[in-house]
Amino acid sequence: LQQEALQKVDQAEDLKQLNEVRVAYLGKKGPITEVLRGMGKLSPEERPKMGALANEVRESISSKIEAKQAELEEAAIQKQLEEQSIDVTLPGRPIYSGNHHPLTRVVEEVEDLFISMGYTIAEGPEVEQDYYNFEALNLPKDHPARDMQDTFYITEEILMRTHTSPVQARTMKKHQGKGPVKIICPGKVYRRDHDDATHSHQFMQIEGLVVDENIRMSDLKGTLEVFAKKMFGEDREIRLRPSFFPFTEPSVEVDVSCFSCGGKGCSICKKTGWIEMLGAGMVHPNVLEMAGFDSKKYTGFAFGIGVERIAMLRYGIDDIRHLYANDIRFLKQFSRVE
């Protein structure tokens, strides 16, 4: 029996067959278990002899099985390794890392700049009340200046905000008539504009608002000069042109000198050497009063910058629609190397 079992172990070609041998010879129904079970029937002299013999046979089979198992397992691993061998000469698969959208990058940079000048970030809803978007900004119902911003209305009183300026009114109201206020607010805005190379029906603005005692136009100019030089280079200049917004007086539109052509005139600046960047002005006393501030004690300045404008100039993007088409070939060009 022992010889036969040891031979079967040797012949086992894989772990499955080996297990079958184990069950056949050492299992509950195997011949050795049977012998051990039948021991009760033997005479007291024969019992120890038979027991010792049965144990010896069992030991020898089981140690042979163990040895064979180790051998088969090793062989199985070797076989697997051979089958799965890696060809290190094959070209690797490229790993594409994602990157921030150019508009996100611009917003983050502008945020960092203004935070370094002591501003905090404010937020407001994109679905806004007519009151904050217009009335609290000195634009009563039926005021002709409402035509400046074609609006998506949801109801008569609720609309998609057309600019980030309502956050001015909301922030001032929260301060309950006490300065200083020093915030910027980046966010999406919506207008019923026809989409073209420079206009989108949904775009982004960054609002700025400073209210305190003795805030002057020169503070606005100095702040915007720092903004232009930090965003576009130390050799940049700004130009203030008189303009009109119902919520600021005086109001200006601010141009930045064109860096693509160095002021000589190109298609980006339409050969003028200047690019319009933002609207700004001194906060209108009516707006201060409506938000609960004493306009004899407090003055302030505000500005609203078009984020797409900054991105287009910064990266030489010639069509605003690229920023919203989600074309991976376009977006891949903005991977940040830091």
Instruction: List binders of ligand FA5 among 212-251 (CB under 6 A).
Output: 245, 248
Residues 28-67, one symbol each (x = binds ligand FA5 by CB under 6 A, - = not), give ----------------------------------------
What distance in Å separates the CA atoms of residue 135 and residue 117, rounded to the nearest whole number? 30
> Could you say which of 276, 315, 321, 331 contacts ligand FA5 (CB under 6 A)?
276
What distance in Å separates the CA atoms of residue 294 and residue 14, rounded to the nearest whole number? 92
> Could you say which of 287, 306, 317, 323 contacts ligand FA5 (CB under 6 A)?
306
> Could you say which of 5, 68, 124, 165 contacts ligand FA5 (CB under 6 A)?
165
> Which residue is it, tokens 């020898």?
60
Would you say 69 or 260 has its CB closer to ligand FA5?
Answer: 260
Least distance from ligand FA5 to the Cβ atom of residue 122, Å: 13
72 token code pair: 């088969």
> Is position 210 an interface residue for ligand FA5 (rule: CB under 6 A)?
no
> Is position 171 an interface residue for ligand FA5 (rule: CB under 6 A)?
no
At 224, is the secondary structure helix, strand, or coil?
Answer: helix
Element housing 248 (H / E): strand 248-257
Least distance from ligand FA5 to the Cβ atom of residue 253, Å: 7
SS3 for 193-244, per residue?
CCCCCCCCCEEEEEEEEEEECCCCHHHHHHHHHHHHHHHHCCCCCEEEEEEE
* Residue type for position 208: G
> Is position 322 an interface residue for ligand FA5 (rule: CB under 6 A)?
no
The burial of 72, by beta-carbon neighbours within 10 Å (0-12 exposed, 13-18 middle, 19 or more buried), is given as: middle
> Is position 309 an interface residue for ligand FA5 (rule: CB under 6 A)?
yes
Q: Could you tell me which of 295, 331, 321, 277 has the C-alpha nearest to residue 105?
A: 331
Least distance from ligand FA5 to the Cβ atom of residue 215, Å: 13
Sign of the Cα pseudo-torsion (163, 164, 170, 175, in order): negative
The burial of 288, by beta-carbon neighbours within 10 Å (0-12 exposed, 13-18 middle, 19 or more buried), is given as: buried
* Contact range with ligand FA5 by CB under 6 A, out of 12-20, 101-109, 256-264, 275-283: 275-283
* Contact range with ligand FA5 by CB under 6 A, out of 85-93, 109-117, 120-128, 274-282: 274-282
First-residue to last-residue Cα distance in the chain: 76
What distance in Å separates the CA atoms of residue 171 and residue 294, rounded to the nearest whole number? 15
> Could you say which of 22, 58, 64, 163 contacts ligand FA5 (CB under 6 A)?
163
* Contact range with ligand FA5 by CB under 6 A, out of 107-115, 256-264, 302-310, 329-337: 302-310
Residues 188-207, one symbol each (x = binds ligand FA5 by CB under 6 A, - = not), give ---x-x-----xx--x-x--
Instruction: List binders of ligand FA5 among 7-26 (CB under 6 A).
Output: none
Q: Could you tell me which of 239, 313, 229 has the C-alpha nearest to residue 274?
A: 239
Would you say 114 or 245 has its CB closer to ligand FA5?
Answer: 245
* 262 backbone φψ class: left, alpha, beta (φ>0; ψ -120 to 50): left
Site for ligand FA5 (CB under 6 A): how many residues?
23
> Is position 270 an interface residue for ligand FA5 (rule: CB under 6 A)?
no
Least distance from ligand FA5 to the Cβ atom of residue 332, Å: 24
> Is position 280 an interface residue for ligand FA5 (rule: CB under 6 A)?
yes
302 token code pair: 């505000």
DSSP symbol at 331 = H
> Is position 308 an interface residue for ligand FA5 (rule: CB under 6 A)?
yes
Which residues form the interface with ligand FA5 (CB under 6 A)? 149, 163, 165, 191, 193, 199-200, 203, 205, 245, 248, 276, 278-281, 302-304, 306, 308-309, 320
